[in-house]
Structure 1
Amino acid sequence: MNAKMDTSDACDLRFGQVGIANVRIKRVDAAALCEELERRVRTAPQLFARAAVVLDLSPLLKLPDDGTVDALLEAVRSAGMLPVGLAYGTSETEALARRMGLPLIAKFRAAYEPADGDVAVAPASAPAPVREVVREAAPVEPAAERVASTLHHDGTVRSGQQVYARDRDLVVTGTVANAAEVIADGDIHIYGSLRGRAMAGAQGDTDARIFVHDFRAELVAIAGHYRVFEQIPKDLEGQSVRCWLEGEKLLLAKL
């Protein structure tokens, strides 16, 4: 008599948003890439150590050969980050991804890339299971126009949770915990403690602002320009702080 086969599901497959950084390669130099990424990891190990990254080859005039790309991937690993795929590009990029046995990833947090330097690294959390995401749907509007309405989030934004205000401002009346994220295409107002990450002007609005009642942030970013804090400056820790862009420089000051 045959043993009864277990027909229950072996797994549960779901799709969600995870923390992935985008590493844009502007020149083919594996040693320089490793050195730059190691510097980023040393500067903010909680943010970048073992962070999942996507290798973006689109800035290069010519797509590197397989051996060169393999060397770049190994440089990322040696620096302490984990390459998980290639950024979507041309049909040649797709063929390269197939040969390298890597997925081609079309969407990642490219909005938070710095504008200068040979290597651009978008902020990302360490690889983790699919995080809880709180989203508010909004009608699609021209990028130049900001919707007047505001998304209000009452209470704590928990560790691993993300709140995104698409095409609008975000007001949080509570604490943003460590490893939590609040993102807005407009301004961000936090009437509580910011212990995690706040990213305003996510679609490139350089006039966006961040206002925090109790500043203890891991990271703040406006229109792709960001600052990481391993140690909060003494004059800002626990203070009411505003963040804004002046040219390409992200500035912070007490309110």
Structure 2
Amino acid sequence: MSVTQGHMDYEQAGELKIGQVGIANLRIRTLDVAQLSREMRERVERAPKLFGRAAVIIDFGGLTRMPDAATAQSLLDGLRAAGVIPVALAYGSPDTEALAEQLGLPLLAKFRAQYEPVGGASAPTASAPRPVAADAAPAKASAASAPKASDSKPGLVQKTPVRSGQQLYAENRDLTVLNTVGAGAEVISDGSIHIYGPLRGRALAGARGNADARIFCREFHAELVAVAGHYKVMEEVPKELRGKAVQIWLEQDQLKIAAQE
């Protein structure tokens, strides 16, 4: 703050904007601290670029009873040790508000949750994996590289829509979605991602750090896209690319998005 000619100047030192960010939501179904910590550690080890030091919101709404503060703190400590950073509780009830105050965490309301675990048993069922035909790839798709892992598998093909709240993960392979990725849905691949319908949710390619991975989309309305941990949200994308067929790739650690013919 400075004083100039009799009036005070309140020029801000920092500009605060509220926008859409990539925050994971962990809905607790069984309050087993050891198992929850182990599952999170496995996720971080499987896709460190995506989950390592990721911000996580804890949602106790799936439990019949709210945990006590000591148990909840034990869970927070276990998740931090697993490699993620709990940053808030998902709003659910006055009990949640009281617990958040005891833990020193904020509450986040109206958070659109991604409840299905990556690659977990309860993840939405996809079509059986099979090789993706060369003539099935979008234009310029030959430029995309397969995952670098030596144990790479045939591409995973998803025929049905990926709906809001669902999360689909293609481990050590490319992912092809022949339908829509809805708002609030998330598709993740260690390789490249090809989407033949509208992309309205999130697409994250190169989840294990493959910087050569790419995203190809026929109709671009994404909430968030990422390659090898580098991401952009819709607010950062030029308006002229919205609704277009696009290609997304990394170039000198910068995420590039360009329209395709």
Paired position in structure 2 for 1:134: 124
**1:143 positional shift:** 6.3
| 2-structure distance, mates of 1:171, 1:205 | 17
Matches within 5 A, 1:152-167: 152-167=157-172
Residue identity opposite 2:190 in structure 1: D
Paired position in structure 1 for 2:96: none
Residue identity opposite 2:253 in structure 1: E
Residue 148 to residue 248, structure 1, CA distance change in 2 (3 Å) = same
Corresponding residue SS for 1:43: coil
Q: Residue 222 of structure 1 contacts residue 250 of structure 1 at CA under 8 Å; is this kept in 2?
A: yes
| 2-structure distance, mates of 1:234, 1:192 | 19
Q: Which has the higher contact order (CA 8 A, sep 6+)?
A: 1
Residue 222 to residue 109, structure 1, CA distance change in 2 (3 Å) = farther
**1:102 positional shift:** 4.1
Paired position in structure 2 for 1:44: 20
Q: Residue 151 of structure 1 contacts residue 165 of structure 1 at CA under 8 Å; is this kept in 2?
A: yes
**1:133 positional shift:** 1.8
Residue 99 to residue 163, structure 1, CA distance change in 2 (3 Å) = closer
| 1-structure distance, mates of 2:218, 2:233 | 18
**1:155 positional shift:** 2.1
Structure 1: which 5+ residue stretches go unaligned? 1-34, 53-75, 85-96, 111-124
State the TM-score, normalized to the length of structure 2.
0.52
Matches within 5 A, 1:240-251: 240-251=245-256
RMSD: 4.0
Corresponding residue SS for 1:251: strand
Q: Residue 114 of structure 2 contacts residue 165 of structure 2 at CA under 8 Å; is this kept in 1?
A: no
Corresponding residue SS for 1:253: strand
| 2-structure distance, mates of 1:145, 1:184 | 15
Residue 146 to residue 200, structure 1, CA distance change in 2 (3 Å) = farther
| 2-structure distance, mates of 1:43, 1:233 | 16
Corresponding residue SS for 2:156: strand
Matches within 5 A, 1:221-236: 221-230=226-235, 232-236=237-241
**1:144 positional shift:** 3.3
Q: Residue 135 of structure 1 contacts residue 165 of structure 1 at CA under 8 Å; is this kept in 2?
A: no
Paired position in structure 2 for 1:189: 194
Deviation track 1:37-64 (CA, whole Å, cap 9, x = no partner) reads x95x71327x55x966xxxxxxxxxxxx
| 2-structure distance, mates of 1:129, 1:176 | 13
Paired position in structure 2 for 1:177: 182
Residue 202 to residue 107, structure 1, CA distance change in 2 (3 Å) = farther
Structure 2: which 5+ residue stretches go unaligned? 1-12, 27-54, 60-69, 86-109, 117-121, 130-146
Identity, % of aligned positions = 43
Matches within 5 A, 1:1-255: 39=16, 42-44=18-20, 82=57, 100-103=73-76, 104-105=78-79, 126=111, 128=113, 130-131=115-116, 133-134=123-124, 144-145=149-150, 147-230=152-235, 232-255=237-260
| 1-structure distance, mates of 2:19, 2:112 | 18
Deviation track 1:74-108 (CA, whole Å, cap 9, x = no partner) reads xx9xxxx9568xxxxxxxxxxxx989544312657
Deviation track 1:180-233 (CA, whole Å, cap 9, x = no partner) reads 000000000000100000000000000000000000000000000000114752
Paired position in structure 2 for 1:7: none
State the TM-score, normalized to the length of structure 1.
0.53
